[in-house]
Chain A
Amino acid sequence: MSVFKIAGRELSSRLLLGTGGLPNLALLPDVIAAAEPGMVTVSMRRTSSTAAGGLLETLRAAKVPILPNTAGCLSAREAVLTAQLAREALETDWVKLEVIGDETSLMPDAVELVEAAEQLVRKGFTVLPYATDDPVLARRLEDAGCAAVMPLGSPIGSGLGILNPHAIEAIVAAVDVPVVLDAGVGTASDAALAMELGCSAVLAATAVTRADDPVAMARALRLAVEAGHTARGAGRIPRQAVARASSPMEGRIA
């Protein structure tokens, strides 16, 4: 696939992988080997609440770049502090910025998101914000200095795919920074569609980690992202309501 960069940094793949939801950490090396992701996301939590269980060692052994997120943060203040903690703990100034509005819908809080993005950009972070599928918000985030925008296809963990493909296309048209489809991917066709719509990359977590066979789904998503990206470049035929023969009409018998 063609070279893919965010903030000038070349990533090896257009598939980004979330690690949340995997029932058994022992599966992670095989999942990463099958997905070949450009980056892998992690969350930041209090040391006592969840055993780290060698997660960082596993990711470092796989030599995959780590992208910390601010999952679970409900305000700009929490998200900025979490990003700073992640930078200190993981020695990266990249952050997948999540500021959710409530714990039921898990939908991004656009107001707090823009505020947090502005603060983090000022502090020198490379900010990749998780956003609603709104081209106006995407442009606001780009104006704030974000290195990419990550619109949702549908709610986190829902597996509903891309509910509004026109909005994703509008975001691709609205911003110059890479668009990474985040949230909602349920299976390979969702990831392929995201790429066909013009996204630069896809982030998938639950689609892989909660699949019956996470390793097989990791491979499927890798292939789907490649297929969708190649198809986007190939240029699809226009849709039309009437048939158009591909075989010659001349020379038919009888």
Chain B
Amino acid sequence: MRITVNGEPMEVGGTVADLLEARTGDRRPSGVAVAVAEEIVPRDDWAERSLQDGDVVEIVTAVQGG
């Protein structure tokens, strides 16, 4: 299954939590938010929300900024 994560193509399956674990080593990292197809996926839904082929996923966190 092919999805786009933070602008880059990835071959993964499973849930949002699975994706976060693969990228950050944590299924429920703090200070992070996830959107799929421009819709926020609330933290409590990460473990249940399955990713679909073609999904565009954004994973963001806070960085220094004015």
Contact = CB atoms under 8 A, between A and B. Distances in A.
A interface, over-half SS = mixed
A88 B64 contact: no
Interface stretch (A3-11, A39-47, A166-174): A39-47
Contact of A85 (B24, B30, B60, B64): B60
A55 B61 CA distance: 10
B33 A21 contact: no
A206 B33 contact: no
Q: Which 7 A-B pairs have the closest CB atoms?
A: A43-B65, A18-B66, A205-B66, A89-B33, A88-B33, A20-B66, A42-B62
Nearest to A57: B31
A206 B7 contact: no
A47 B62 contact: no
A56 interface: yes
Interface stretch (A64-72, A135-143, A194-202): A64-72
A119 to B, nearest CB: 13
A57 to B, nearest CB: 9
20 contacts: A20-B64, A20-B66, A42-B64, A43-B66, A45-B63, A47-B32, A48-B6, A52-B31, A52-B61, A52-B62, A55-B63, A66-B62, A81-B35, A84-B40, A85-B35, A85-B58, A87-B33, A89-B60, A156-B66, A203-B66
A44 B63 contact: yes
B59 interface: yes
Interface of B: 6-8, 23-24, 30-35, 38, 40, 42-43, 58-66
Task: Give the contact-size bracket for chain A.
Answer: 35 or more
A85 B8 CA distance: 19
Interface in A78-116: 81-82, 84-90
Contacts of B33: 44, 84-89
| Interface-central residue, A20, A46, A84, A89, by most chain B CB under 10 Å | A89
A22 interface: yes
Contacts of B40: 81, 84-85, 88
Interface string A11-53: 0000000111110010000000000000001111111111010
Contacts of B24: 47
Contacts of B59: 46-48
B60 A45 contact: yes
A50 B62 CA distance: 9
Given A46-B58, A85-B58, A21 B66 contact: yes
A157 B66 CA distance: 9
B65 A46 contact: no
Contacts of B60: 44-47, 82, 85, 89
